[in-house]
Amino acid sequence: MKIWKQIIIMAAGSILLASAATAQAPKREFRGAWLHIIGQKQFANQTTDENKAYLIDQLDKLKTAGVNAVIWQVRPQADAAFPSTLEPWSQWISGQAGVAPSPVWDPLQFMIDEAHQRGMELHAWINPYRVTHGENDVPPQGHVYYQHPEWFLKYADGKIYFDPALPESRDFIDKVVRDMLNRYDLDAIHMDDYFYPYPVTGVEFPDTASFARYGKGWGDKGEWRRHNVDLLIEQLHNTIHELKPWVQLGISPFGIWRNKKSDSRGSETNGLECYDGLYADCPKWTAMGWVDYMVPQLYWELEHKNASDLELSYWWNDHANGRHMYYGQAVHNVMSHRDIAEAGGDTLNPTQLDHKIRLMRDLPNVQGVTWWPGYTITANFKGVLDSLSTNQMRTPALIQPYTWLDDRAPDAVTNLRVEKVNDTRTLVWNAPVAAEPMQQAVRYVVYRFAAAAPIDIESAQNIVAITGEPCLILPQAQNKKARGPWQYVVTAVDRCNNESAPTILSVKL
């Protein structure tokens, strides 16, 4: 196949330098992790303090693994993992739908604060249409389902959904997003692969009445359904950029758009197509500029017979349409399959982790990865946390700037200094004053160089920390040589990940 020729050409020049490729991690790379709440019982079974301690532990371990963006599920089924007047408390937080946790706390605000403190982005993950998660699940009292039952349909999978055809459905979902944007300092709104529901074999989604009402002029029901989803994506894009134009809209679609046998533009695969099965025309959304990043779920092994991750990696790279492209990887799959041989060679690598990361970094239109689920990283499944933290992602990384939203860098930090309290020395600086929210400093990068070394802030090897706080505790010198002097450099990073000019201070520890 053509794909194997491509990988052989790539591998021929890099296979002998595999360890060097992973050692020299890029300075800019999106490294996300999904943390879902649906199906997770630990939150309801723990006290508020235990939940906070648990989430802090998750974030600390993810940061150790190099993660710089947490995708936190806040609306899995028309509910809320935060206080809301529009939708009921999620059962996955409190244990009972519609009932607040006791004592009441705000998991979303907590996660925003803790992520930002660590220099990480927080993306609020919503499911747009799903209302219940199974046949025996029912919406709680007070849910909008009882106020407007005409907005909803029940499918053969036993679940209730908003009818995507209705303007009222789109407007309500938009209202929920507006409420979140107005109340929380979010970095992104994120949606996964659930648009129209995954099809039950032989059973059509029950929207015949809606098609009769709204489908006039649409000869093909599939085209009409895709149009309905398009309308939601465009509406949310417009709302986000009206209220907070620095907030991104990200989508994580099923990994196959279309198979080549269905469409010459598709991939050499043989599986469910999100275009025809879920009515999601994902490449259109990036081409139209409605979506800021795409995270296709490439949850298969490199050599999978029907859905090769190798084939799909190249396909999605070629369909980024100028927006950011991050590859969703299932940790269990990555760590449970032996690597494939490259360029006619052999491999002793027991996992595909290193290969997939090198492939991602070699593709010109791919800017990062997102791990599914983040809990598998923090559990160190088959040593994945150890490997990422000591090898592939051992240096911190900034996320690439969203230049189509804003390409102006913030001003530099000022009054860089060292403050000493007892035996603790802290590097402290003042944030730049920003007249516009776009240029507000939200993160800082601290670099360190030997006294006579040239200042090179383009290498991740020189990064000491990425933090959301305007200070950093300095290490204590263990010997005379370690005392320095050192050159410490601090830069400011704004909401769209533009980096300021450096501010430099000579420090003797």
Tens digits of per-residue pLDDT, 196-233?
A: 999 999 999 999 999 999 999 998 999 999 999 999 99
Residue 409 domain flag: no
Q: What is the pLDDT of residue 20?
A: 41
Reported pTM: 0.94
Compute the distance between CA of residue 123 and CA of residue 142 in angstroms, rounded to an integer.
Answer: 27
Residue 443 has pLDDT above 50, yes or no: yes
Domain of residue 340 covers 2-8+26-392
Instruction: Give the mean pLDDT of the chain.
Output: 93
Continuous segment of H or E residues that includes residue 284: helix 282-287
**Are 381 and 426 within one domain?**
no
Q: For the domain that residue 501 is a member of, what is the CATH number?
A: 2.60.40.10
Q: What is the pLDDT of residue 311?
A: 97
Average of per-residue pLDDT across 324-353: 87
DSSP per-residue letters across 432-482: PP-SSGGG-EEEEEEEEEETTS---TT-GGGEEEEESSSEEEPPPPSSTGG
**Are 325 and 460 within one domain?**
no
**Are 80 and 111 within one domain?**
yes
Q: What is the pLDDT of residue 346?
A: 58
Average of per-residue pLDDT across 70-88: 98
Given a contact cutoff of 8 angstroms between Cβ atoms, the answer to whether 80 and 43 are in contact is no
Contacts with 451 (C-beta within 8 Å, 6 or more apart), sequence order: 484, 485, 486, 487, 506
Given a contact cutoff of 8 angstroms between Cβ atoms, the answer to whether 457 and 489 are in contact is yes
Compute the distance between CA of residue 153 and CA of residue 180 in angstroms, rounded to an integer.
Answer: 25
Residue 273 domain flag: yes
Q: Which residue from 488, 417, 502, 426 is spatially nearest to 453, judged by alpha carbons?
A: 488
**Are 278 and 421 within one domain?**
no
Helix (H, G, I), strand (E, B) or coil at 385: helix
- Express as a percent the part of the chain with pLDDT over 90: 89
Given a contact cutoff of 8 angstroms between Cβ atoms, the answer to whether 464 and 507 are in contact is no
For 3-22, the pLDDT digits (tens) are 433 433 333 333 333 444 44
Q: What is the pLDDT of residue 87?
A: 98
Residue 119 CA: distances (Å) to CA of 294, 320, 436, 492: 22, 27, 21, 11
DSSP 389: I
For 383-393, the pLDDT digits (tens) are 999 999 999 99
Q: Which residue from 81, 65, 80 is spatially nearest to 33, judged by alpha carbons?
A: 65
Q: For the domain that residue 141 is a member of, what is the CATH number?
A: 3.20.20.80
